[in-house]
Structure 1
């Protein structure tokens, strides 16, 4: 997989796994990583599926309808890549927090839905429910931040509420921030994600 790895503050044990939205690349979320934790290491991955030339992390049948077979395959591929990258770059595999937007948030959510203890936490920005009708792994204590838009045409409020409920039922500690916006990211949303991050990693 094509990715950028940056080791920053040697005393900071955390690594941010950055996962862009459809049509983005591995540089898109670097400024957001700086806003969340300037000292954390960064592993920013480019999706290796193309849709009309636009990078994504998994295929879809149409907007809002995922290709589940490909989603499962790509989720496993990303999990394995995380293990390989941790060995190659020497970061703590148990201190990885995902930061994903849109399609990137969906693959991060899929990691949580399919594997136990795969992430130390996750910032899901405008995510959808990755899969339905499956038993989720035990997520006891896993902190998850969800950024949502009240007027998001792609991820309507009921989608966010369903995702929140399923994660909490699996034991995750979920915090949802609602912006008076659509599907775009807002500064207020990232500021709230940064506050949540400080709270869960540093107890601030």
Structure 2
């Protein structure tokens, strides 16, 4: 049985009543502290749950294995995503969180993992703010799950060489086809968390009223 001890993580309780929990998923080479400033900027006062990916690649933390850059080990992604979903469920019990008010936010590898959580574990989350995410189940059509209660913000770089804009748009299409309410923000940059994207995401979060 998965417990909160199974992932190195940081948990920061909410400082404002009635706020959701932000699940923060770092990018390749980062750790559980990397996206805490993003969480505080995106949803001031919300609880923050920020685990560390358990896969290492050349000494860098990741959420799942890949064959090479841009090519995922999809079976490992599926298994690691299930493990992460179990951790989040355990954390809701340990930290007395509302399981119906968890929003994932991630960058790059973490954003792809957040997208996989939406498609593979649709009842785990109520929303997502993902930066530089693409369709995670490469070459596979996700199951026809019901995402009608999910709100999603996607930020993508038009010149991103790692997560191409076509992959970002494919993810948006997959989510919309399953009923999610998706708001897309495309910026002219590359593989980064653009400042203007954060501004757009903060506005989206406030309007979403999770």
Q: How does 1:13-162 map to 2 (within 5 A)?
A: 13-131=19-137, 132-162=140-170
Return the alpha-carbon distance in structure 2 between the equivalents of residues 199 and 49 of structure 1: 35
CA contact (8 A) 2:126 2:149 kept: no
In structure 2, what is the equivalent of residue 192 of structure 1?
Answer: 200
- The CA deviation at 1:13 is 3.2
- The CA deviation at 1:80 is 0.4
1:64-100 deviation line (CA, Å, top 9, x unaligned): 1111111111010011001111111111111000001
CA contact (8 A) 2:134 2:169 kept: no
Return the alpha-carbon distance in structure 2 between the equivalents of residues 133 and 116 of structure 1: 15
1:30-66 deviation line (CA, Å, top 9, x unaligned): 1111111110000011101000110000111111111
Task: Say which SS state the counterpart of residue 158 (structure 1) adopts.
Answer: helix
Residues 7, 54 of structure 1: alpha-carbon distance in 2 compared, 3 angstrom cutoff: same
- The CA deviation at 1:136 is 3.4
TM-score (norm 2): 0.93
4+ residue runs over 4 A deviation: none
TM-score (norm 1): 0.96
Runs of 5+ unmatched residues, structure 1:
none
Return the alpha-carbon distance in structure 1 between the equivalents of residues 130 and 197 of structure 2: 11
